Amino acid sequence: MTDNQNNELSHEQIRQDIANLRRKKSSQMSLVWSRFRKNKLALAGFVIVSIVVFIAVFADFLTSYDPLETDPFNRLKAPSAEHWLGTDELGRDVLTRLFHGSRIALEIGVLIILFEGVIGIFLGVISGYFGGWIDAIIMRIVDILRSFPVIILAMAIAGIMGQGVWNVVIALGIVGWTTYTRMVRSKILTIKEADYVEAAYSIGESTASVIARYVLPNALPTAIIMICIMMPTALIASATLSFLGVGVQPPTPAWGAMIAAGRGYLLKAPWISTSAGLAIMITVLGFNFIGDGLRDALDPTTKRN
């Protein structure tokens, strides 16, 4: 056999080994899933979140009221058969507003995470992968941004930019991407040292190809996990902004704004604020359970209980 044929064979062997390694990784995924399934809290979280998503999607059909329709004669009515959660200060049905609020909450949450995520993950990947000057500059920017409390800076930005869903997303997006960058960067740094990446280089794969075929697919599960884990933060942040008076404001039924509006009527009509507050809490708990479950399923060696 000629030298070339020898090389061909050994390259073929290496390619196969790499393929085997990747297959091993995907069978690990199903192992993770089965561990997750066994965690009762995580399942409970999954159920909760599914219900919330259902409500958000079908909000229009779940009640007979319009969330924006005011009814001055029925203001501040206590919960009853016609209004399961009572009415608010303008006579609107609280339950309906709550349901529509879930849609706003989830929409904003996902948008925020996507915005932050795209910026953050992109910067994290190039920072981790290329290192050197690029890494130093990006990490300095991260340092600078993290010197401001997220809520405070986002509030200032959203306040100056004006009301509306998009301004909230942009404000939180500009401020909040740093968490993603750090998480992804450290994962990349570990992957960079991995055996199969070195193997790929040794048979002459190009940088771009290595990133696309090995670095990204392994960073991707991390990214997906991050969405579940970051949803609580996004939800609470956007609700806080609404409460403070920036971002999404009435008459749009945002949970945070509902709590702010109900604040003046706490003694007379506590159900306005309370229902919205409980809604936020339950949704966030659901995502937290899932997040914890995912973390445990992926790395059961860190025994936390």
Partner 1 sequence: MSKKKNYWVNRIIRTIITAFGVTLIAFLILHLTKGDPVRIMLGPYASEENIAALRAKYKLDEPLYIQYLTWVGNVLKGDLGTSIRYNRSVNELIAERIGPTLILTGGGLVIALGFGVLLGISAALRRNSFMDYFSTFQAMFWLSIPTFWLGILLLYIFGLQLRWLPIAGMTGFASVILPILTIGLQQEAWFARPMRAEMLEVLSQDYIKTAKAKGLKYSVVVWKHAFRNALIPIITMLALRLPWIIGGSVVVEVVFSWGGMGSLLVNSVLSRDFPVVQAILLIIAAAVVIANLLADIIYSVVDPRIRTAG
Residues lying near partner 1 in the complex (CB under 8 A) are found at: 140-141, 143-153, 155-157, 159-161, 232, 236, 239-240, 243-246, 256, 259, 263, 266-267, 270, 273, 277, 280-281, 284-285, 288-289, 292, 304-305
Question: Coil, helix or strand for 44?
Answer: helix
| Cβ partners under 8 Å of residue 70, min gap 6 | 90, 91, 92
Give whole-number Cα distances, 123 to 36, 83, 153, 303, in Å: 30, 49, 20, 32
- Nearest CA to 153 out of 161, 181, 261 is that of 161
Nearest distance from C-beta of residue 161 to partner 1, angstroms: 6
Q: Are 290 and 138 in contact (CB under 8 A)?
A: no
Q: Between 24 and 304, name the residue whose CB sits nearer to partner 1.
A: 304
Q: Which residue bears the tokens 């040794």?
A: 202
Rounded to 10 deg, the angle between the 255-262 and 94-130 helix axes is: 130
Rg of the chain's alpha carbons, rounded to an integer? 24
> What is d(CA 125, CA 122) in angstroms, rounded to the nearest whole number?
5
Beta bridge partners of 224: none
Q: Which residue bears the tokens 């075929």?
A: 213
DSSP secondary structure code for residue 72 in this structure: G
Q: Between 18 and 260, name the residue whose CB sits nearer to partner 1.
A: 260
Nearest distance from C-beta of residue 162 to partner 1, angstroms: 8
Nearest distance from C-beta of residue 87 to partner 1, angstroms: 19
Q: Which residue bears the tokens 């970051």?
A: 230
Q: Between 215 and 275, name the residue whose CB sits nearer to partner 1.
A: 275
> What is d(CA 145, CA 168) in angstroms, rounded to the nearest whole number?
17
Nearest distance from C-beta of residue 109 to partner 1, angstroms: 13
Q: Between 191 and 280, name the residue whose CB sits nearer to partner 1.
A: 280
Nearest distance from C-beta of residue 142 to partner 1, angstroms: 10
Q: Between 110 and 145, name the residue whose CB sits nearer to partner 1.
A: 145
Q: Between 91 and 245, name the residue whose CB sits nearer to partner 1.
A: 245
Q: Between 96 and 288, name the residue whose CB sits nearer to partner 1.
A: 288
Nearest distance from C-beta of residue 41 to partner 1, angstroms: 9
